[in-house]
Amino acid sequence: MMAALLEVQRLCTEFRTRRGVVRAVDGVDLRLDHGETLGIVGESGCGKSVTALSILRLLPRKQGRIASGRILYDGVDLVSLPESAMRRIRGNEISMIFQEPMTSLNPVYTVGFQIREVLKKHRGLEKDEARREAVRMLSLVGIPDPESRVDDYPHQMSGGMRQRAMIAMALACRPRILIADEPTTALDVTIQAQILDLMGRLKEEFGMAVLLITHDLGVVAETCRRVVVMYAGKAVEEADVEELFDVPSHPYTVGLFASLPRIGGKRGKLTPIPGTVPSLDRLPPGCAFQERCPRAEGPCFQEPPPWTAVSEGHRVRCWHPVEHS
């Protein structure tokens, strides 16, 4: 098997809070191969975005830290790299599209200036050459009249255009890995489809691998090859997309699918997962999903479940996984 482009091994990330130390990511393993799209799904607060920020080492310095684990990029452990070396990778070889472009783009600088700074920093382009490349990138992501819009400030652009500008900035240095954190949040359905289509086209054109973070299973079905489901800071299921949709095995994953609206179902009838996600500073012993799980019994209340193989490439962290005939 070819070595993974990115491999996260037993990652644990902690935050200091007023109520003590909270482990937001707890023993997460991920593998991203060359050119593939890997989805990470789960409810808000499950650790998806913190995992991405840990990979890029963008955690708030005073509150957050990687407590243990390794993040291997092309065989190099990013956790142990000096910050100067990490800066050469961040934004250049591994880029990220952040969740909300209005807060991720600096409001006091033009979009073109912000793209130029990336090009000058990582590719060493002079001002005029960087401006031409910024215009080209805006054109590539489908922004009309890029020669004029390159001088726009973020507030002068629509939500969809700001997201396109963020993609242009993230891809300006032709990274090997693109981390997309909820790239279609707060966009209407038509614009969502356009952004996903754009990302897919550019992925193929640039030969990138993509780590897609989302809560939208429809987006996962459309774009990903494999998917990891997270809950309360842990990865609880991993499988190829087709198999996960056909035979979800963790009760939480089954609950996610059951809560989706379906064409032809009873009008207005949804089946929500009962209860709420437990607070990370007060997790119960055993399985974190126990209080919401209809299958919880015995060891579920005593010991965290180990990984169990469902089939080749499909594994689940559960004492009583759902069986399918």
- pLDDT digits 0-9 by tens, 9-32: 999 999 999 889 999 999 999 999
pLDDT for res 264: 62
Residue ranges of alpha helices (H) inside the chain are 48-55, 83-89, 101-104, 111-123, 127-140, 146-149, 159-171, 189-206, 217-223, 241-246, 251-258
What integer pLDDT is reported at residue 99 of this predicted model?
A: 79
User: For residues 83, 91, 97 and 43, what is the CA-based torsion angle, rounded to 10 degrees?
Assistant: -30
* pLDDT tens readout for residues 99-127: 777 778 999 999 999 999 999 999 999 99
Contact status, residue 198 vs residue 167, Cβ threshold 8 Å: yes
Closest residue by Cα to residue 67 from 43, 44, 50, 49: 50
Considering the chain, what percentage of its residues have pLDDT values greater than 70?
A: 97
Out of 77-86, 153-162, 267-276, the most confident range is 77-86
The model's confidence at residue 36, banded by pLDDT at 50, 70 and 90, is very high
105 vs 11, 100, 165, 169, 217, CA distance in Å? 29, 9, 9, 10, 27
At 134, the pLDDT band (50, 70, 90 cuts) reads very high
Grouping H, G, I as helix, E, B as strand and the rest as coil, residue 8 is strand
Q: Which of 26-40, 115-129, 257-271 has the lowest mean pLDDT?
A: 257-271
Average pLDDT, the chain: 92
pLDDT of residue 191: 85
Q: Is the pLDDT of residue 266 over 60?
A: no
Binning pLDDT at 50, 70 and 90, where does residue 204 land?
Answer: very high
Residue 199 vs residues 11, 157, 166, 289: alpha-carbon distances, Å = 27, 19, 12, 34
Distance CA 288, CA 126 (A): 53
Q: Lay out the sheet containing 20-32: strands in order across.
A: 20-32, 6-17, 64-73, 76-77
Is the per-residue pLDDT at 5 higher than 80? yes
Q: What pLDDT is stored for residue 245 in this prediction?
A: 95
Q: Mean pLDDT across the stretch 302-321?
A: 95
Which pLDDT score, from 0 to 100, does residue 118 have?
93
pLDDT of residue 86: 96
* Per-residue pLDDT at 138 exceeds 80: yes
Residue 196 pLDDT more than 80? yes
pLDDT given at position 265? 56
Q: Is the pLDDT of residue 85 over 70?
A: yes
Between residues 159 and 130, which one has the greater pLDDT?
A: 130
% the chain with pLDDT above 90: 78
Handedness of CA 119, 124, 128, 132 (dihedral sign): negative
Q: Rounded CA gap, 17 and 64, in Å?
A: 9
CATH assignment of 6-224, among 3.30.1660.40, 3.40.50.920, 1.10.3720.10, 3.40.50.300? 3.40.50.300
- Rounded CA-CA distance 195/280 in Å is 33
Give the per-residue pLDDT at 2. Answer: 74
What's the pLDDT at 267? 52
Domain spans in the chain, listed from the N-terminal domain onward: 6-224, 234-262+269-317
> How many beta carbons lie within 10 A of that of residue 285, not counting itself?
11
The C-alpha R_g of the chain, in whole angstroms, comes to 21
What is the pTM assigned to this prediction?
Answer: 0.92
Question: Quick count: other Cβ atoms within 10 Å of Cβ 196?
Answer: 20
Tokens read off for 175: 């990274």
Is the per-residue pLDDT at 62 higher than 80? yes
The pLDDT value given to residue 284: 92
Rounded Cα distance, 234 and 315, in Å? 13
